[in-house]
Each structure stands twice: as structure tokens, then as C-alpha cells.
Amino acid sequence: MIGSLRGTVLERTEDACALLEVGGVGYLVSVTPRTLAELEPGATVFLHVHHHIREDAQTLFGFLHRDERTTFQVLIATHGIGPALALAILGTHTPSALVDIIASSDIGALTLVPGVGKKTAERLLVELRNKLSLPMLDPLPVGGGHQHSTVGDVREALAGLGYGPEEIREALREVPADGDAGSMLRDALKLLGAKRA
């Protein structure tokens, strides 16, 4: 099973695939249009990969962030959601936005996904309600209680300062996880300040 790939982008195809060369071997990886736009030919990239195996085919699905792959895997394990629809959902909504949509039962937002009508959106809300949650999408492992509570403290502090969930999630992805809450908060504020400037 292939879990990740690091290599050079050779080309991008019109059907949202990227050809990635790793050690002289070219891998064709299906990605969302948003990810495809970030994969510049000639650039070196790292992708989290879901290796999808069926009797008649093997497909690689690539994601720039681990929480996207985790969400993709939750989606395809859900009744009635295949890889194509899961990729369409992630191409329309980020993982954190999807959590908010499910939590607020926002059918309208789900119908923005190509191929999802009102009835399908209603079914997806029911199917996903207990499967998608914020702790699952934490950018850091939940294993260590201390680490998890530190991240939670930093997240709460940033929210209290007026930053949105998506901004906080992006910042926490980039902050080293081995510091205390104070240093993590300082690093996160630097990143957020630079992005807002």
C-alpha cells in the first residue's frame, strides 16, 4: 500500500490528475482541482496518499494535508459515497468547513457539491453526523493527553482573539507541536499576523 509520495510534478492533466515522478517512476495521482492548482510542474511536492484498490483497478488519491486524506477515508467508508463523490466534496469544502456544515445541518452548502441534490444532501447529513468531528481532524495526534490539551488551549486562545476556525487550523498545522502553549501561541500569532498583513 502506498501511503505518501514525495517527488517532482511532471504534468497536470485536465481530469484533475497529477503525474508525479518518484525515484524514476511516474505515479498518476487523482487530486481535487484546488490541489491541482497548487502542483506546479517542476516543483517538488509531498502528498498524503490513499491507495484505493478494487478488483479491476488501482487508483492513487493525493492530498496536501493529512486531515484531507482522513476526511476522504471517512467519506468513502460512508454508504453511497464513492471516491469520485468524496473528491468532489473535498474539492468544494475544506475538512473543517465540512465539519461545520454537518454540525449545522446546512443542506444548501452540501448541494453546492457537483452531483449532490437535496435528497442526497439530506442523506449525507444523517450518514456523516456521527462520523465527522473536530477531534478527528486535529492537526496533531490525540494520543498524548498533554499535547491534545495544549493544542486545545492554543485553539481556544486564538478563537478568543477573533480568529476563525479555518485560520486557526491552518496556523496549527504549521506550528511545531513539541512546545508549550505559550510558545505555540506566539508562533501561531506570528503566522496569522503575516497572513493577514
Domains of the chain, CATH where assigned: 4-63 (2.40.50.140), 67-128 (1.10.150.20), 138-196 (no CATH)
How far is it, in rounded angstroms, from Cα 4 to Cα 165? 27
Taking only the tens place, the pLDDT of each residue in 6-19 is 999 999 987 889 99
pLDDT band at 55 (very low <50, low <70, confident <90, very high): confident
- Whether 68 has a pLDDT exceeding 60, the answer reads yes
pTM for this entry:
0.66
- Whether 187 has a pLDDT exceeding 90, the answer reads no
